[in-house]
Structure 1
Amino acid sequence: MSDTDEWPLAEILSKRESGSKKEFYVHYIDYNKRLDEWVTPDRMNLGKLQPPAKKEPKSQSGSAKGSRPSSPDREPNAQFRKQVSQNRKRKLGMLDRADEENSSDAPPPPKTGSLRPHGGSMSHDDVITRIKNVQMIELGRYRIKPWYFSPYPIELTSEPVIYLCEFCLKYVRSRKCLERHRTKCTIIHPPGNEIYRKGSLSVFEIDGRKNKMYAQNLCLVAKLFLDHKTLYYDTDPFLFYVMTEMDSHGFHTVGYFSKEKESTEDYNVACILVLPPFQRKGYGKLLIEFSYELSKFEGKCGHPEKPLSDLGLLSYRSYWTQTLLEVIIGLPRADDGSSPSVAINELCEVTSVRKEDVISTLHHLNAIHYYKGQYVLHVSKEVLEGHQRSMEKRKVRIDSKHLHWTPKDWAKRGKW
């Protein structure tokens, strides 16, 4: 593995030859796909080569007694890849119903569109989408190495760098083309309505129907850094909330989240992303906090669509923990000086966090205990000290006074 002394087990997904040079594209088993890479034979220990895992035969009443499963070295590679993929998903808790039913008719990934969870059996197209096809993108003053596959046009993916306009996200193949585009592209912020601004931080609401091209370009960029999402062409049913930093040159995108205009499940986030140059700066929690502020305006308890990415799950768990502890610590004592009391439903109403997420977070903190016939909350000293340290680092918060937004009832609008 690059930059380490480890020799982890890896699955070979593809190979290529350039003259006398041969390379293999490998996925490291039990590691995130963002670490997948092309390697040369000198980095492979072929002395420890393992055949595909042997598949257990299904017992059938009408099967012959002498029948036995085929030897593992004759098992199709696609089946092995499918089994490995499902095992990893099951381990991570991300196995979709389509995977469980071994569906084999999943459609190939279309060209562009909004990001949606997707499951399915491993096919030739699935193998292709597991291989990174973009070497580098240039967005504003940053050059970013992508983590995953994104269906950009094939004539661009053969280039060493794809150049993006940092305001409209149009993609071109050279810096010269980008310079010509910038002479024509006069916008300095995402299209749509600016619904929040405090200091240099702004959030724009973009309608996926009115600004289809921008929404599709945004999803193409997001797919470079999100694994468990598939691009569909239709962005009409979605709203996109793009967070930006403002300076003298314009409004620079740092991240975004999307949500359905109509959600029967009360989802307040369909997809969420902070671009790599802006990660570990608190923007993830800001986007999550903003999504729950919108839920408060709507009078609902929201929650994100599943599955969450590994980084997304960490961000949400951290946000739920800090938000609930902030409310619990601020509870006033009773008149007689006894410990304060609060119901789970009250925590949901104050935070707009769904009941299931509140309970799972409290269990994660080991804060729920059964004592003398009733459930009580007890937060340990270590948890409180950790909460205090994390809140000291979280200096930027969403101020609802600066949010100018009125929820729409999309069900009554007929057409979006």
Structure 2
Amino acid sequence: MAHGQKSSGAGPSSAQRKDLAAAGALEFAVGTKTQCTAAFDGALHPAEVLEIRTDAAGKKQYYVHFMDCDKRLDEWVHADKLLPPNSNISRLESVPSLALGCSGELQADGQKITRRLKRRLEDTHHVPGHLDDSKDHAGPEKEHAERTKVKNVQVVEYGRYEMDTWYYSPYPEPYASCHKLYVCEYSLKYFRKKATLLRHLAKLEARHPPGDEIYRSPPPPASNPGSSSNAVANPPIAVFEVDGKANKVYCQNLCLLSKLFLDHKTLYYDVDPFLFYVLCEVDADGYHTVGYFSKEKNCQDNYNLACILTLPCYQRKGYGKFLIAFAYQLSHLEGRPGTAERPLSDLGAVSFRSYWTRQVLDVLRDCRGDISVQDISDRTMMMPSDIIETLKQLNLLQYWKGSHYIAANPKVVEEYWRIYSGAGGRWLEVDLKCLHWQPLTTGPGRPK
């Protein structure tokens, strides 16, 4: 299920509740800006009506975007959740539109937001490109935003989980018009009816992704009956390398599913130039897909990761950071540093910053004497630009006599490590003894 953002606002006051009751008899036009009581925290938020429909009981519903929240929290509401259009308009007009940039900082209306919006088409799903300041892109960008502003599929049943979706995904009709889709967690095929899914599962022979299994962790150790620990061990995990050209339908299904939970990617069906690294939990029933990252086969921009997702039902288990670490281990074997394709989603930015911080601090803790940014890059396979950004955020990069140097006082580094090593939830380490992989191609900086 989607996790709501913490709101700084309170619930409706007694006067506002009267306004909400009065608004229940009103109608709102598309584009109306007012306030709406959000389901995720019960508080009033500035909102805009994006679309209108009639429910099964004949009552009008309004699809609202909460202007101070991410799009994944948009929802359908009845009029009794909305304040009358003229309520607190002066306050609404002063509310800035917030976004999370690649650096992870909230940015308000103005130049930074404009630049980020211009980059949205550049980071299309596996179709890299470069946008200039030309007005030629305004039309396609506006068309894309208009087409994807309202979620189509609302719920996905996936294995034993049921997930609320976050964003629009271009499933073909008639699937795109379904309130709920049933997705096979092995083949990723999608169905409109549960009975059809069950028939598919009864005939399914290969309960794992196509491609080559390149990683398999050993089973977790048996728990000690006398232990007082309440920690739950993750099941064994496996990673498959899937070629988008050789397994086109599977990869397209993976992209369609991931688009329900990723807003910053625009899905295209050309998956041929990409490899997909699919992470699975393994049990007696088969390999349950929990997440993946994709990577361009022949990338000239040092991207070691194009798109990454852990499905919401499997989040908070350390899988996202494991996938990031896995991508950098592949960079180690390729012999060249890499970075993630930009822009990052808000959740992706948090995960990458956490990983980069941990890696940089780990190197600095072991350092004796002077160390350069290039030294850290050679050990971590991180791009120097990502290392510099991380050092700046930690205030460990100083400027003196025209050049930068790393000011890594051991006590300061240890204090940072104490803070960050336990932050960000669970960490799953990549066991190199379980990884069996060789680069597909050779080139500058790659081992032959």
Contact 1:86 1:99 in 2 (8 A): no
Residue number among 152, 168, 181 corresponding to 1:133 in the alignment: 152
Residue 7 of structure 1 corresponds to 44
Residue number among 305, 315, 325 corresponding to 2:351 in the alignment: 315
Contact 1:262 1:410 in 2 (8 A): no
- Aligned pair 1:364/2:364, yes or no? no
- Aligned pair 1:16/2:53, yes or no? yes
- Aligned pair 1:293/2:293, yes or no? no
Residue 75 of structure 2 corresponds to 37
Residue 400 of structure 1 corresponds to 432
TM-score of the superposition, structure 2-length normalised? 0.75
C-alpha separation between the residues in 2 aligned to 1:227 and 1:398? 28
Cα distance change on mapping 1:321 and 1:205 into 2, 3 Å: same
CA deviation vs aligned residue, 1:51-80 (integer Å, no higher than 9, x gap):
9989xxxxxxxxxxxxxxxxxxxxxxxxxx
Moved more, 7-16 or 157-166: 157-166
Q: What are the within-5 Å matches in structure 2 for residues 214-253 of structure 1?
A: 214-253=250-289
- Aligned pair 1:212/2:248, yes or no? yes
- SS where residue 406 of structure 2 aligns? strand
Counterpart code for 1:222? S
- SS where residue 422 of structure 2 aligns? helix
CA RMSD of aligned residues (A): 2.7
Q: What are the within-5 Å matches in structure 2 for residues 89-108 of structure 1?
A: 90-91=112-113, 94-96=116-118, 98=131, 100-103=133-136
Q: What are the within-5 Å matches in structure 2 for residues 67-216 of structure 1?
A: 87=109, 90-91=112-113, 94-96=116-118, 98=131, 100-103=133-136, 120=141, 122-123=142-143, 126-199=145-218, 200-216=236-252
Cα distance change on mapping 1:43 and 1:297 into 2, 3 Å: same
C-alpha separation between the residues in 2 aligned to 1:246 and 1:202? 7
- Aligned pair 1:344/2:370, yes or no? no
**Could you tell me the percent identity over the aligned residues?**
45
TM-score of the superposition, structure 1-length normalised? 0.80
Residue 314 of structure 2 corresponds to 278
Q: Structure 1 stretches of 5 or more lacking a match?
A: 55-84, 108-119, 334-339, 412-416
Residue number among 299, 304, 312 corresponding to 1:268 in the alignment: 304
CA deviation vs aligned residue, 1:8-61 (integer Å, no higher than 9, x gap):
21122111123530111111113100001111111111232759989xxxxxxx
Cα distance change on mapping 1:17 and 1:280 into 2, 3 Å: same
C-alpha separation between the residues in 2 aligned to 1:133 and 1:291? 32
Residue 24 of structure 2 corresponds to none
Cα distance change on mapping 1:26 and 1:89 into 2, 3 Å: farther
- Aligned pair 1:383/2:416, yes or no? yes
C-alpha separation between the residues in 1 aligned to 2:298 and 2:243? 13
Contact 1:242 1:256 in 2 (8 A): yes
Cα distance change on mapping 1:153 and 1:410 into 2, 3 Å: farther
- CA shift for structure 1 position 5: 4.1
- CA shift for structure 1 position 93: 6.4
Counterpart code for 2:407? L
Cα distance change on mapping 1:275 and 1:204 into 2, 3 Å: same
CA deviation vs aligned residue, 1:310-343 (integer Å, no higher than 9, x gap):
0000000000000111111012x3xxxxxx2111
C-alpha separation between the residues in 2 aligned to 1:91 and 1:245? 38
Contact 1:137 1:163 in 2 (8 A): yes
Contact 1:149 1:223 in 2 (8 A): yes
C-alpha separation between the residues in 2 aligned to 1:48 and 1:410? 63
Paired residues, number: 360
Cα distance change on mapping 1:157 and 1:89 into 2, 3 Å: farther
C-alpha separation between the residues in 2 aligned to 1:211 and 1:5? 45
Contact 2:321 2:428 in 1 (8 A): no
Residue 60 of structure 1 corresponds to none
- SS where residue 10 of structure 1 aligns? strand
Cα distance change on mapping 1:88 and 1:139 into 2, 3 Å: farther
- SS where residue 187 of structure 1 aligns? coil
Cα distance change on mapping 1:237 and 1:6 into 2, 3 Å: same
- CA shift for structure 1 position 135: 1.6
CA deviation vs aligned residue, 1:328-375 (integer Å, no higher than 9, x gap):
1012x3xxxxxx211110100110000000000010111112468862
Counterpart code for 1:351? T
- CA shift for structure 1 position 246: 0.4
Moved more, 217-226 or 155-164: 155-164
C-alpha separation between the residues in 1 aligned to 2:404 and 2:259? 47
Cα distance change on mapping 1:193 and 1:106 into 2, 3 Å: farther
Moved more, 369-378 or 251-260: 369-378
Counterpart code for 1:399? D
Q: Structure 2 stretches of 5 or more lacking a match?
A: 1-37, 95-106, 120-130, 219-235, 444-448
C-alpha separation between the residues in 1 aligned to 2:380 and 2:359? 7
Counterpart code for 2:335? G
Counterpart code for 2:336? K
Q: 4+ residue stretches of structure 1 with deviation over 6 A?
A: 51-54
